[in-house]
Homo-oligomer: A and B are copies of this chain.
């Protein structure tokens, strides 16, 4: 019989080794104090026998669920046959196969002639490569990033990130980046693209000529703010007019999370540079990619490198995702249907409680008004076996990042838990407020 409902354990025995040996920097483990042992599809299992429905999906790293059988089998076969696991940037059949699939199934159908750069296999490495390249190509230093943007934790990417707590970890001033208001940042009446254009066109604004704009179409960490297609086109145009490259950081919103393989497809924008990571391998293996127009490929050999820049296991599973999911129109249609369901369900919850929703595609959330409320909701969900997390400048957005492949009935079951939790939290807080 198919599982549709989670069965959380009361509490998990969590080994003492974590407190003794793992750095205090760990975060998600604090809110979900279980020891997980096994996962498949939308389900995670803990060491006490509990079963959890995963609406976090590794922050959009597991768009196809945990350990998808097709990807898993491809990887097992590769390992069993002693496929190359590590080969620096040497040619391997796994890499060639991935590039073939990328070209034929993703790039060509979309009219994109990108070159692929395999950076170190984390999103922040892909971003660092992107901004280095933009600076190298243009001979300029400044990057225009946007409010609430999140681009990574290494020094170059962190400078592009808006979050003050993350920035505070740098220990040095973060330079060569200007953070401009994102679409809608100053409310519906202020056209933030126009503000930016005015400053860039003014030789006395103090804003230097930029090497690049770096932008997310939907801000995964920054609160699920979704830029309009019109705004994205304006930003692309402004970048072009001012000699800046357009980098779309598609690490969280790409790989189908908003519907298309790239999140910018429906806007018609063709970025100069694109960064991908998270769900690229499909199975959660470390993998990152920086794509760019071939004319920009002015790297000298090894000018940007890294030990793990070719993760062959990830090539294998990534190629399998492209063939299994992206070559299949039903998959794309299915994501659209689930996305509509999610939009509908969240709108209903929001309407009932006078809240607002955020996001686009399968990357949506609900604004709980405060981090306290949002945290109460995610705790209430976890107690019922639903893994879900918050986002936004004050962690005030409860975000739903369910696998794109989730069955409708399971999806509904999870959203039922969320709906109940929101109701419980708000009635309690009203109760508190009324006293």
Inter-chain contact A208/B164, CB cutoff 8 Å: yes
* A141 touches which of B27, B136, B173, B301 (Cβ 8 Å): B173
Inter-chain contact A136/B96, CB cutoff 8 Å: no
Inter-chain contact A303/B173, CB cutoff 8 Å: no
Inter-chain contact A116/B39, CB cutoff 8 Å: no
Inter-chain contact A123/B306, CB cutoff 8 Å: yes
Inter-chain contact B147/A84, CB cutoff 8 Å: no
Q: Is the CB of A381 closer than 8 A to any CB of chain B?
A: no
Q: Is the CB of A356 closer than 8 A to any CB of chain B?
A: no
* A153 touches which of B84, B190, B304 (Cβ 8 Å): B304
| Residue interface bits A85-105, CB-to-B below 8 A is 1, else 0 | 111111111011001101100
Inter-chain contact B82/A79, CB cutoff 8 Å: no
Nearest to A204 among chain B residues (CB) is: B393
* A299 touches which of B25, B107, B157, B305 (Cβ 8 Å): B25
Q: Is the CB of A352 closer than 8 A to any CB of chain B?
A: no
Nearest to A206 among chain B residues (CB) is: B179
| Residue interface bits A59-89, CB-to-B below 8 A is 1, else 0 | 1011000110000100110011111111111
A62 to B350, CA, bound (A): 53
Give min CB distance, A386 to chain B, whole Å.
Answer: 14
Chain B residues near A171: list those with CB within 8 A.
Answer: 131-132, 134-136, 141, 211
A204 to B53, CA, bound (A): 30
Give min CB distance, A287 to chain B, whole Å.
Answer: 8
A251 to B79, CA, bound (A): 25
Nearest to A298 among chain B residues (CB) is: B24
Q: Is the CB of A110 closer than 8 A to any CB of chain B?
A: no
Given A39-B84, A100-B17, A23 and B297 contact (CB-CB distance below 8 Å): yes
A75 to B209, CA, bound (A): 48
* A204 touches which of B83, B162, B308 (Cβ 8 Å): B162
Chain B residues near A285: list those with CB within 8 A.
Answer: 85-86, 311, 313
Nearest to A317 among chain B residues (CB) is: B85
Inter-chain contact A72/B61, CB cutoff 8 Å: no
Inter-chain contact B303/A165, CB cutoff 8 Å: yes
Q: Is the CB of A260 closer than 8 A to any CB of chain B?
A: no
Inter-chain contact B122/A18, CB cutoff 8 Å: no
Q: Is the CB of A174 closer than 8 A to any CB of chain B?
A: yes
* A23 touches which of B117, B152, B203, B307 (Cβ 8 Å): B117
Nearest to A128 among chain B residues (CB) is: B154
Inter-chain contact B116/A120, CB cutoff 8 Å: no
Q: Is the CB of A6 closer than 8 A to any CB of chain B?
A: no
Nearest to A176 among chain B residues (CB) is: B172
Q: Is the CB of A115 closer than 8 A to any CB of chain B?
A: yes
* A162 touches which of B93, B117, B206 (Cβ 8 Å): B206
Inter-chain contact A147/B206, CB cutoff 8 Å: yes
Q: Is the CB of A145 closer than 8 A to any CB of chain B?
A: yes
Chain B residues near A75: list those with CB within 8 A.
Answer: 79
List 4 additional A-B contacts (Cβ < 8 Å) besides A18-B96, A154-B157: A12-B91, A22-B118, A123-B306, A152-B306
